Structure 1
Amino acid sequence: MTDTLRPLAGFGGSEGPAVRLRAFSNLLPRARLTILAATAFIVALVIMAAAPHLFTHYDPLAGDMLAALKAPSADHLFGTDRLGRDVFARTLHGARYSLSIGLGSAAISVVFGVLLGLLAGLRSRLLDEAICRLFDVISSFPGVLLALLVVTFLGAGMENIAIAVGIAGVPKFGRVVRAQTRLVRDADYVTHAAIYGQSRFGIFARHLLPNVLTAVPVVATVYVGTTILAVSGLSFLGLGPQPPTPEWGVMLAESRDVLRVAWWPGVFPGAAITLTVISFTALGNALQRRFERRVP
């Protein structure tokens, strides 16, 4: 009996494939729990952003100097900032701004990346080369630096910061769509559809486009977290929404002057940014594993 159970004691050595499979399966509940927690957080965040008044009765813009910099308590769950505004209310309302700008930036990247990627993958070699060089030029700049340049020309504001971050992400989607387009274009089932007389539009709508776009949601889910982080960073620098807008990056910028005496005005919006980015990244990685036919 002892000799029979000995191989199960460790993960290295001479144990067989069945033991390795059993050891790997022990990790699956933890992975599924992470995905479930990330999904639950994103769903809760969306609900709070859509209806923050259901969770707090405080006005995020109304201040009370007599209640300035109060520590977290039953009356103010996240405390108050230097103007006496409720940090919990501002964090909830800030989710609406950060999510809307982040999703808007991701939508711009997806739309233009998909269009340019399809053109590069389907049209002439000259157009393909021109679009690829455009992607190289955009990618040669760090994302935040490129967004800074765009905002400098367009000016600060929610719409402009969404456009700036969205432009920086176009090559990411464009290259993925171009590679998928060229792969599907040369597939046997597309060739057979053309031989049997199916029209170009029918081949594009039935065979090419659905298979090309399967990878886009995977990349987009991870990229939403990246855009939210970039938007918050630009807002922190004063290039996004302006005070007193309750946006997470703006809240971080406003908390710098009081961080030595009150940690809560900066910690809670910072934690919201961190958890949101981690949740979108974890969910995107799970989708990627499924897309690649791996065990989540």
Structure 2
Amino acid sequence: MTDSSLAGTAPVDDAAVRSRALPRPSAGVALAAAFVLLLAVAALAPQLFTHYDPLEGDALASLQPPGAEHLFGTDRLGRDIFARTLYGARYSLAIGLGAAAISAVFGIALGLLAGQRSRLLDETVSRLFDIISSFPGVLLALLVVTFLGAGLTNIAIAVGISAIPKFGRVVRAQTQLVRDADYVTHAYIYGRSRLGVFFGHLLPNVLTAVPVVATVSIGTTILAVSGLSFLGLGPQPPTPEWGVMLAESRDVLRIAWWPGVFPGAAITLTVIAFTVLGNALQRRFEGRAP
């Protein structure tokens, strides 16, 4: 193309190009992101939203319905449910993030091994993923907690183990895709060592898919953790954890709906928010509009 032909073209607006390349997220994605941000603030500094102690009860205020003084009402021990729900975000997010981190670390390591050119490693790791996946996630976590015992750390380990194949299979597929890419072949041709290619080309490109899986995984792990806590295998009362709160509400559900509805709504909204964000990240990763 000659300079004269370029002279007649309009100047390119870089901002417009960027806006087309990165379309604005939908209202649902924006709401999900705002909710997750609010949840993170509540987990880090719940005292910004309430002055009530989540463990302090008042027998005279037992089972008060939602109102001006107690926004979400009180439970049978007179504890403020709004405060317990806010402080519960700290436990649920911590366990969910811990479980997701455990599954990500082991899933990435095993996926990288399976994605190499060794057929033996690939078959061995793939069969391990199949064995783990053959158990329903909650059932596998239940078995692990039965052996390890109840507690915050053990429940995170249990749920994390059940989610390892989610990360491992994605990383395995990405590793096989990247290892045969032209730029990796060219790197070897130009004298890069295997270690240099691994850290300079393979690993950075493989890990681009991990945040997508991790975002969705956090929501599902929080749901699994709450289910195990409901069964009494997670944090123990009076810990203000959402699953524990649901378990405590069973005895009064016929006469008071609020002790169970609000922590249940917190679990539901959190899972939906992380799922929406994960789906949006997946569409962005695949080059589709969010």
TM-score by length of 1: 0.89
Alignment of 1:1-40 (within 5 A): 32-40=26-34
Aligned to 2:118: 124
Aligned to 2:273: 279
Bigger mean CA deviation after superposition, 244-253 or 120-129: 120-129
Instruction: Report whether the alignment pairs 1:215 with 2:218.
Output: no
Find 2:95's aligned residue among 87, 92, 101.
101
Instruction: Report whether the alignment pairs 1:138 with 2:137.
Output: no
Percent of matched pairs sharing the same residue: 79
> Residues of 2 paired with 1:72 and 1:213: CA distance?
46
Find 1:244's aligned residue among 225, 238, 241.
238
> Residues of 1 paired with 2:172 and 2:280: CA distance?
23
Aligned to 1:179: 173
> Residues of 2 paired with 1:137 and 1:107: CA distance?
21
Find 2:155's aligned residue among 161, 164, 169.
161
> Offset of 1:226 from its aligned partner?
0.3
Aligned to 2:109: 115
Aligned to 2:218: 224
Find 1:46's aligned residue among 17, 40, 45.
40
Tell me the alpha carbon deviations over residues 145-183 of structure 1, each in whole angstroms, 9 at most, x when there is no partner. Answer: 000000000001110000000000001100110111011
Q: After the TM superposition, which parts of structure 1 deviate over 2 Å for at least 4 consecutive aligned residues?
A: none
> Offset of 1:83 from its aligned partner?
0.3
Aligned to 1:200: 194
> Offset of 1:124 from its aligned partner?
2.0
Aligned to 2:63: 69
> Residues of 1 paired with 2:195 and 2:205: CA distance?
15
> Offset of 1:123 from its aligned partner?
5.4
| 3-state SS, counterpart of residue 26 of structure 2 | helix
| 3-state SS, counterpart of residue 122 of structure 1 | coil
Aligned to 2:18: none
> Offset of 1:233 from its aligned partner?
0.4
> Gapped runs of 5+ residues in structure 1?
1-27
> Residues of 2 paired with 1:138 and 1:123: CA distance?
23
> Offset of 1:268 from its aligned partner?
0.4
**Partner AA of 2:75 in structure 1:** D
> Offset of 1:188 from its aligned partner?
1.1
> Residues of 1 paired with 2:116 and 2:255: CA distance?
60
Alignment of 1:259-274 (within 5 A): 259-274=253-268
> Offset of 1:121 from its aligned partner?
1.0
> Residues of 2 paired with 1:33 and 1:89: CA distance?
29
Tell me the alpha carbon deviations over residues 199-230 of structure 1, each in whole angstroms, 9 at most, x when there is no partner. Answer: 11111111111110111001110110000000
> Residues of 2 paired with 1:142 and 1:215: CA distance?
24
TM-score by length of 2: 0.91
**Partner AA of 1:238 in structure 2:** G
